[in-house]
Structure 1
């Protein structure tokens, strides 16, 4: 397992550092990885000059600890998360290589929930809530990828109304 991770890291590093004539653009699709809360695969579709839709599919509950108080019990695992945001973005520099963005959307999570009434047993909890996000994306000159850093807030509506969680992350996307 460690050898495959090392090999994948070396291939990714070579791809990032290698020469590439394609210009990073934001009127297209991009696919990448996001590390944070939630972590996983990130897909973004840019619309026109200042709109985008961002989708994250991955894990939830790992960054800030997989054991958290929740309702009348706690979470003791990492779960699956699907998060989507409609974004507005704007160039922060004249070269448009740095763009700021913000947006709103929703999030669906599933985790093992250990309620006090279950005496050590768990039930799978499916939750639904709204989220907001803001961030910065950097497009290196003459490269087909971009880096991003973002933060936001998740507000649960179902199962525990007004349960709050910080959503933050950083990542890389390949733009095509």
Structure 2
């Protein structure tokens, strides 16, 4: 997993250092990374005047605790996650360099679950739930990248209904 983070970070850093794009854009694709819960690679597709689809692929459970009560047992590890949101966004400034957004979607997680019935052994727990997010994205003038800060929540539907978790993150995206 560390190698994936290093590769993604290196690729983004290389793009930022070698790019000669004049203006940041929000009307195409963007690729970057997100630090938070979940953490990992982030892909966003902007379309229409104020819509986008945001996809996060990475880890889940590292920020708010690897040892956490869950259902009748506990989580004791970081897991993998896939999170997607349909986003609405709008400009806060006339130059459109600061945009706010919110969206709704879903999240799929896979973590090691330690139920009491297995006496210290684990099973892989696949969980599915709904999630919502809100944030702000800043597009520096004449730069091909943007910074974002966001917060939201996750409500699990399958494995442990109504299990809730806070989703927060900050990151950097290269826009092309």
Give me the TM-score of the superposition, normalised by structure 2.
0.91
- Are residues 173 and 128 of structure 1, via their aligned partners in 2, closer, same or farther at CA, if it must alter by over 3 Å? same
Q: Are 1:135 and 1:150, in contact at CA under 8 Å, matched by a contact in 2?
A: yes
Does residue 111 in structure 1 map to residue 111 in structure 2? yes
- Cα distance in 1, alignment partners of residues 19 and 12 from structure 2: 13
| Deviation for aligned residue 1:72 | 0.9
CA contact (8 A) 1:20 1:142 kept: no
Is the CA contact 2:37–2:63 (under 8 Å) kept in the aligned structure 1? Answer: yes
Partner of 1:23: 23
- Map 1:1-176 → 2, pairs under 5 A: 16=16, 20-176=20-176
Residue aligned with 1:117, SS: helix
Gaps spanning 5+ residues in structure 1: where? Answer: none
Deviates more, 1:69-78 or 1:9-18: 9-18
Distance 1:72 1:10 in 2: 41
TM-score if structure 1 supplies the norm length? 0.91
| Alpha-carbon distance in structure 2 between the residues aligned to 1:69 and 1:75 | 6
Cα distance between partner residues in 2 of 1:12 and 1:34: 12
